[in-house]
Amino acid sequence: MFGGFGGILPLRLGGSATLGWAASQHARLAADLASASRTAPLASLTVLLAATPAVESYHGRNGSGLAFAPTAALLATGRLRLTWPNACAAELFLDGVAIRFPWTTRHVVASGHYNAAPVIATVAAISPTIIDINVYKWNGAAWALSNERISLRTFGDWLPEARIGDYDGATDKVDCNTETEPYVWLWYQEFTAMLGSAFSNAQTGIVHAKKLTLARFEAGKTRAVERARCNSVPATADDCLEQWVECLKVPTRDSDQRWQIRQRCAAKFKGAIGATQSNIDAACSALLGSGFITTIHQTGSDLDHPPLLTYWPGINPGPTQMDLGGGTWSSERAHITVVLVKPPPSQLSDFLYQSNVALFQQLDRLLPAKCGFNWTTSVQGFLLDGAAHSDGSISQLDFDGLTPS
């Protein structure tokens, strides 16, 4: 696309608006593609109700054409049942790499085609692959069941939910600041200068082909050096990401995308230099990304005036429920609260894994044994299990209990 000077794939992100593709533009495309995939209908079809009902057109995620359409059966006048085949047994439901996924209808939008009078339709999902439709036509006095033509759009699940990593998107990608001009072009100019003016500078012929071959070879070596440098730290590692996971003992799941694993490795690496407040904040920010708001540290005004929930025997005895022997020794100074952005319901599973597994392991290994921690969201509410409020105060519900009236 650049006349042979574009370098080695993948193309670098960055450059001008006309001669490059910025990381932000690539991220926007990946996010939009994922959103379009998640919100697109499972299928759009038109059906004619008759003694022998017929699906007239069909466009679905499993394919386009009547061969992919559901079976239509007339239950009674104006009542139709559509049945998709069992996805586990049907070849129609294989994805691009021949893996079967269940077909689940969750929502249907139906509309009637006007036929001398208004036509409407109501829909009920009987099972993940069966829907019943009632079609009504206005007879001048009331809505009556009638065999008419209708169009439907069905929504639901088939393939796993699309994510930005499916399109090579990542939240940590930035514009390239090294190969602002293709390495191939820079090496080509170098070889042109080395040959001198006795050789043709035309970008055709055997001399041009040899210079271009050598330039691409040298560009490959330059890229290899760059890759080695990037893999030397977890924040930019890709080829060696698995080695960083093993070295740093970072938790992973099969469903994790590489950018998520890279963020966890980078966060763990940031905390290696000590549990200072700035390092804790940096580690949490690297791990949680845009979901991180702040960490709350209770320090008190000075050493002589500790925060409220500071207990030690003889000075400020604490609750007996917290006495492990020898009195209650506890202080908010040894407790931090991580404030997170409350996620939408669709992201709850990933949020709970990040907060209850990844964040827990991160802070459990980073903080001294004397320190405790928990997390809360930015939304005020009723908190259980000793959780902290967003102002850092600790919920006493677990200690006080609930007294029935």
DSSP 55-76: EEEEEETTEESGGGSPEEEEEE
Determine contact, residues 254/160, Cβ cutoff 8 Å: no
pTM of the model: 0.60
Domain ranges of the chain: 43-157, 242-400
CA distance 392 to 10: 46
| 266: helix, strand or coil | helix
In tens digits, what is the pLDDT along the chain, a chain of 405 residues?
A: 345 666 566 778 886 666 678 888 888 888 898 888 888 898 999 999 999 999 999 998 878 888 888 999 999 999 999 998 765 445 555 555 566 677 788 889 999 999 999 999 999 988 888 999 999 999 989 999 999 999 999 998 877 778 888 888 888 888 888 887 888 888 998 998 888 777 777 888 898 889 988 998 998 899 899 999 999 999 899 899 999 999 988 888 888 888 889 988 888 887 777 778 888 888 888 888 778 888 887 776 776 677 777 777 777 777 777 777 777 777 777 788 899 888 877 678 788 888 888 888 888 888 888 788 888 887 555 445 444 444 444 455 555 555 554
DSSP 85-99: PPTTT-GGGB-TTS-
Determine contact, residues 170/105, Cβ cutoff 8 Å: no
Burial class of residue 232, CB neighbours in 10 A (0-12, 13-18, 19+): exposed
CA distance 118 to 137: 6
DSSP 177-238: SS-SS-HHHHHHHHHHHHH-TTS---SSHHHHHHHHHHHHHHHHHHHHHHHHHHTTSGGG-S
Strand partners, 297: 336
